[in-house]
Chain A
Amino acid sequence: MARGGRSGRARGEVAEICKALDHLTSMNGAKPEVIQMKRDCFQKLLRYMTQGIDMSAAFVPVTKCVALSKSDLPLKKMQYLYLRTTARQNSSVALLVVQTLLNDCKDLDPTIRGAALRSMASLRVPELMDTVFMAVEAGLRDPHHYVREAAVMGVLKCWHADAAGCRLRGLLGEVERALTADGDAQVVANCLYVMQQVGALKVTRDLVVSLLNHIHSFSDWAQCFVLDIVGDYSPASEEERFDILEVLDFGLSHTNSAVVMATVKLFLNHTAAFPDQQSQVLGRVRDALLTLVSGREHEVVYAALSNTLVLAKRHPDAFAPLFTDFYCRYQDPSYLKALKIDMLVAVTDASNAYDIAEELSQYIRDVDEQLARQAIRAVAAIALKVPEVNGILDRLLLFLGYEKDYVTAETLVQMAVVLRRYPDAAEACVDSIVEVNPETLAGPDERAAYIWVLGEHGQRVQSAPYLLEALVEGFADEAAKVRLALLAAVPRLFFRRAPECRGALGALLAAGAADADVEVRDRALFALRLLRHDVHAAREVLGAPLPLISRPGEEQAAEVEDRIFDEMNTLSVLYRAPAYTFIDPTITSVGAYDTDGEGSEEGVAGQGAPTDPTGMLLDVDTRSEASAGTAAPSPTPGSSVPDLLSLSSGPAAGAGRGAPDLHVGIGFPPAPALAGAGLDLLGDLEAVAGSSPAPAQNLGASLGGSGAGAGQPMDGGIADLLGGLGFGDPTPARPVTAEVGVEGNEKTGLLVACSGIWADATLADHGAPANPTHAHAAPPQTFAARWAELAHSARSAQVDLPLGVLPALATGAGVLARVALAAPTTSVRVVLEVAGPPGSNLQDALEGLQNLLLCL
């Protein structure tokens, strides 16, 4: 590994060493002081080689020096270190090297024979393979175990260099014989390893019995290897299984954590099919793991705890009483603290929730900001997990007043999450949240969360419209995410406190319609069109509360978790990703399927995005109309509104990350079938723009009737408002293409907007891209869950969104479907089928779709 820039200096060093060695060869090599000088010189030589200097020129003096001091073992061993590297750097000396080594393979001292053989097998110079084969063959029959150990490994080295040659000489047969016949445990272990590596290991009952009988004579590492092999063996009978477990029971109380972990895995594997036995084993396994978790070396604890977490997710009850064992210690490194916080959340149940929340509260004082944030997220996750939450909510409220801005910010984001789960808790929380000064909120996440709370629970806060108005004034300076949040929150509050919000809404839509960001603009235009067209429908859509969520959005799909469980005691557990995501060399990015939000802290490439409140804001669901005090059910003909897509109720919410490669295709059935009874949306919008007062009056009436507004008549109402914006024809005519490529990104996922109602939207079963399946019967609620699943498991899939009945389009109501794609490499086809009752107008349908495409 000579490096270019060093060559000048290197020549000087080579010369220096050669000169010193030459000088030493001229002295009497038997004298102890000469030997000592030689050793010192060799040390220097090796140190130079460490620096990457090619020392092959010193070959002759090195060999001479050793030859003249034959009896000195240290010199010999240093010579081997030198020879191995040199032979590879400089093949011209390789032949000479081999000759030296070959002589040493016949030495009387087994240490020299073994070391020489090991070095020789490592040479991998193709021309010399015959010599190496001979030496290895002789080594396999050596009387000393040290030489046989080296010879067995030599077979594997030969196999990788020349498999055919190995076969020809029957070396594997020799190894197989040694596997059962050799008396030295390390030789047997090496044989086992070689056989397994070449794929020729047959795990028979006899082999397992013989290995287990000698299990105690193996080294710790060989024991781990044997345990892995026995773990994959299926016992023929119940007794055999019990016997295996009994023999290996010692492993659970071993001081070497590697042996303990291998035993744990074996115990769990061998009892997997027998639940009652597994629950017995679980207690033993748990105690063994806890001993490791309380250990001293952080790396060992980390590995053990990662596995414990996987197990605790399966059996939380077994670990819940022991939660104090997972408290952070102050000298724990940050990765261990982060893992322990996850562990605490995993073992939380009703009995320990308060204690754990109290402990987590202490962690927000940690100097590490990321850790403090994680602790806050954990408290919120606990609030979502246990039914009795008031005390935990109080704790979150206390965090709001903590002096560090990032604590306030993270708490606010998490409060928004908790409020989506428990809207009733708003009464207790909203006042404290509103007290937060928006100036102190730096990041878009927390600003968006703050805005969401104002929009969602603004009816409880006297000053909400004015707080929002102030934020709208700074619209242009906000991040896109915050602008989107405003576009969701202000209309939402508008439908409940219209007079106070009118000003803000007008300014917001005006600014939004002129926004440079496509997503923001589309959303503003969409809201605008909808409001103009039909305020009832607009209220259904824009004024609807978000669906309740049941669990934190960071959890992994069950399928991924199962896979990781199966891969216990491997790196998969540390990375929280199945092996194929980081072991297969064709996958370069480890994070491809790392779906855990904390993945990036594992050093994995996956960039975890925190739960995204704007994501929720964009979601549309009108099923739970009553829950937030909106008006009575919609009088619009499109009463199929409740069937709108609800994309956020599953774990995919806010999980969009990476850069999905999206391809959206809009496919049409043959023309005759496309008899949609659509409405000419453009015409309609123009009618609205022409200041038709009807919708506005409707709005005024319904607002008054609902009692949510201030009860004042709205002169001219929304028509004035909208008309004043001078919003003309937004949709230039454009032919519909059959397939459109859409670049999604991590922020938005895929945004689908449609001026119409999808009466029935289902997600087809996903399958391989070559074989897409179509299913139309799944209820819309499963949509989000299916998406999450899809994103986790499929690299490519086809999704069908059958657009049910086109009359829905005629209502002019809209739908925003935000598809959060969790996996960055997912390629998705979305196919929209449009069908309708006879007599509908194809042109209308096309235009409806065109509108949809515009928004894509």
Chain B
Amino acid sequence: MADTLFGYSIPFPTYDLYVAITAVALYIPSIILTTPEAFGRRVQASRAAGSDLPPAVGIDGVQYLHVKVGDLLWVATTRVNLSPSLVSELLLRITVICRDYFGQVTEECVRRNLPLVYELLDEVMDYGFPQNSSTERLKQFIAIQPQAARSLPPGVTGVAGGEAFDRPAEVIKSVLDTSRTGPVKDEIFVDIVERLTATFDATGRQKSSSITGAVQIKSYLSGNPPIQLGLNEDLIIRGREGGPASHASSDAVVLETCSLHQAVDPRRLDTDRVLELVPPNGHFAAMNYRSTRSFRPPFRVYPLMEDDAVAPDKLTLYVRLRAEFPPSKTATGVELRLPLPRSVQRVHVETDGARPATLGLPSKTHFAQGAEWVERDRVLVWNLKHLRGSQEHTLRARLTVDAGSVEAVKRDYGPITVQFVLPGKPSASGLDVRYMKILKQEKNYNPARWFRVVAVANSYQIRPHWL
């Protein structure tokens, strides 16, 4: 259905890619017949070159802008010199709407819901000009029902990194569940998601760190009542008014910058440190912020490369991973990656069993770990499904290297990167939601409220060598 005005064309069978293209022609002065083939060739070429396709490419006078969500590329085309931020945000917004409607944005889901996707795009864009795009407002006008995916992919919760947090298992549901069909179940999810950036040297010294965080809300409240989220009273937000009168308190929570969703009343934040808002249905970030406060690193990694006493072409690599957080917390999806130089020929990896630092009984669930040497990418990958606080694990790898390159290998391995999802209070920045009020004048109205704090790795890196 290559509609000449909206030119969406899904999927993309000509190329053997797990890519679907949804094209939205923007601000069209003249009609564009989108050509997914030309763009597809560009996608393929950049894959072959091993690089990532930049978000904007021009082909024959048509500008193709895309965002990548999961395995899908969502593409907009235009001939006008538009703001790339606008296009990216709009495409992301469309994916969020789709997620709100059919739970997941995978190729299968999009394919099954093609007519709905068309209808959504038709409502969001008219003649290339963005129309109202809130899930809330769209609900009134969208008629086609979503189709559930045949099967949920396995391990939705276990995937490491921020992606996993985008779609926690319990929230794969459609906004329509609460609005049009089925029994009404009011729920609201408030998450503080913090992405940690930290760099360490081989001795575990922290060289740099920063936190970017968001207060994310998923609201399925009927009637859209306003809500209040009480933040830390002593919160200091640079560039904004309010906060504690005296700056004496040294452990006050400080946010360097902060941006607010349009639904949030900024005055209440300034006066009372309260996020007051009328949450629209669906996913959105009520507040984004940055903090440069130094936090206690949740993980420490100590790599050590040892010569072999007997064999001159062998090395032993030890990587010690320590969970520095309290035992009440458990990190999931911990993945440590350690690249090795080309002169490493063979690698034999072994990991220990669970060895809690405190002398206790090893817990049954905390054994799940595995390490492998991925020859193709020249990287050692160590996965720990769960890692409870205060635990420590060691990976031991026997390396066989090219003759005479022992010193070079010792000098050139790394950097080690760690991915993790670590739920639990307190947050790294110290930001907290102390209470949540739902301002609805109705007796016995007590919707389910979910509040979580999660830290994920943004860039958590150990560099064994500082040149």
Contacts and interface: CB of A to CB of B under 8 A. Distances in A.
Interface of A: 1, 39, 42-43, 46-47, 49-50, 52, 73-74, 76-78, 81, 84-85, 88, 111, 114-115, 118, 122, 146, 149-150, 153, 156-157, 160, 186, 190, 193, 197, 216, 219-222, 224, 250, 253-258, 260-262, 284, 287-288, 290-292, 294-300, 302-304, 306-307, 324-325, 327-331, 333-336, 358, 361-362, 365, 367-368, 370, 395, 398, 402-404, 567, 569-575, 579, 582-583, 585, 587-588, 590, 601-605
B90 to A, nearest CB: 6
B259 A288 contact: yes
Contacts of A288: 257, 259
A331 B161 contact: yes
**Which of B9, B63, B133, B259 has the most A CB atoms < 10 Å from its CB?**
B259
B333 to A, nearest CB: 14
Contacts of B143: 73-74, 76-77, 111
B342 A403 contact: yes
Given A122-B5, A403-B408, A603 B53 contact: yes
Given A219-B132, A296-B195, A570-B84, A368 B51 contact: yes
- The 9 closest A-B CB pairs, nearest first, are A329-B459, A333-B52, A603-B57, A221-B130, A73-B143, A258-B86, A303-B84, A299-B55, A335-B54
A546 B333 CA distance: 57
A287 B240 CA distance: 12
**Which of B42, B89, B412, B463 has the most A CB atoms < 10 Å from its CB?**
B89
Given A296-B195, A300-B88, A402 B412 contact: yes
B260 A294 contact: no
Interface residues of B, number: 103
Interface of B: 1-5, 9-10, 29-30, 42, 46, 50-58, 60-61, 63, 65-68, 79-86, 88-93, 114-115, 118-119, 122, 126-127, 129-134, 140-141, 143-145, 161-162, 195, 197, 199, 208, 210, 212, 214, 238-239, 256-262, 266, 284-290, 339, 341-343, 377-378, 405, 408, 412, 414-415, 417, 458-459, 461, 463, 466-467
A582 B119 CA distance: 32
A324 B197 CA distance: 11
B197 A78 contact: no
A575 B63 CA distance: 11
Given A50-B114, A153-B126, A255 B260 contact: yes
A391 to B, nearest CB: 11
Contacts of A587: 61
A601 B54 contact: yes
B115 A585 contact: no
A73 B141 CA distance: 9
Contacts of B378: 367
Contacts, number: 280
Contacts of B85: 257-258, 260-262, 292, 300, 303-304, 307, 569
A605 B465 CA distance: 38
B329 to A, nearest CB: 23
Contacts of B88: 257-258, 297, 299-300, 302-303
Nearest to B142: A77
26 contacts: A39-B145, A46-B114, A47-B114, A118-B122, A156-B127, A221-B86, A250-B266, A253-B260, A254-B262, A255-B261, A258-B88, A258-B90, A262-B86, A287-B238, A288-B257, A291-B259, A294-B210, A297-B67, A299-B84, A303-B88, A331-B459, A333-B52, A362-B467, A365-B339, A569-B83, A604-B58
Contact of B89 (A216, A257, A604): A257
B414 to A, nearest CB: 7
B82 A570 contact: yes
B236 to A, nearest CB: 14
Contacts of B58: 571, 575, 582, 590, 603-605
Contacts of B414: 365
A294 B118 CA distance: 33
Given A118-B122, A288-B257, A299 B288 contact: no
A361 B467 contact: yes
A299 B80 CA distance: 19
B257 A50 contact: no
Contacts of B122: 81, 115, 118
Nearest to A590: B58
A374 B155 CA distance: 38
A190 B129 contact: yes
Given A255-B288, A601-B54, A603-B57, 6 more contacts: A216-B262, A255-B285, A257-B85, A258-B89, A330-B415, A358-B467
A146 B114 contact: no
Contacts of A604: 57-58
A739 B466 CA distance: 60
A224 B459 contact: no
A415 to B, nearest CB: 16
**Which of A88, A258, A588 has the most B CB atoms < 10 Å from its CB?**
A258
B186 to A, nearest CB: 24
A300 B89 contact: yes
Contacts of A49: 1
Given A46-B1, A47-B114, A254-B262, A330 B55 contact: no
A292 B259 CA distance: 9
A823 B267 CA distance: 54
Contact of A582 (B61, B66, B83): B61
Contacts of A149: 126, 131
A298 to B, nearest CB: 7
Given A1-B2, A149-B126, A253-B258, A567 B81 contact: yes
A603 B54 contact: yes
Contacts of A404: 342
A582 B63 CA distance: 9
A287 B256 contact: yes
A324 B199 CA distance: 11
A303 B90 CA distance: 13
Nearest to B209: A324
Contacts of A193: 129
Contact of B126 (A150, A302, A402, A575): A150
**Which of B51, B68, B341 has the most A CB atoms < 10 Å from its CB?**
B51
B313 to A, nearest CB: 15
Nearest to B238: A287
A300 B56 CA distance: 11
Contacts of B30: 160
A422 to B, nearest CB: 20
Contact of B81 (A74, A299, A570): A570
Nearest to B286: A255
A626 B410 CA distance: 45
A260 B145 contact: no
A76 B93 CA distance: 26
B97 to A, nearest CB: 13
A59 to B, nearest CB: 15
Given A257-B89, A358-B467, A287 B262 contact: no
Contacts of B56: 571, 574-575, 602-603
A210 B10 CA distance: 41
Contact of B259 (A50, A186, A255, A403): A255
Contacts of A222: 130
Nearest to B50: A368
B231 to A, nearest CB: 15
Contacts of B81: 567, 570-572, 579, 583
A165 to B, nearest CB: 17
**Which of A255, A260, A335 has the most B CB atoms < 10 Å from its CB?**
A255
Contacts of B289: 291
Given A46-B114, A403-B342, A81 B266 contact: no
B61 A153 contact: no
Contacts of A605: 58
Contact of B3 (A84, A156, A297, A572): A84
Given A1-B2, A74-B145, A299-B66, A330 B459 contact: yes
A42 B144 CA distance: 11
A52 B259 contact: no
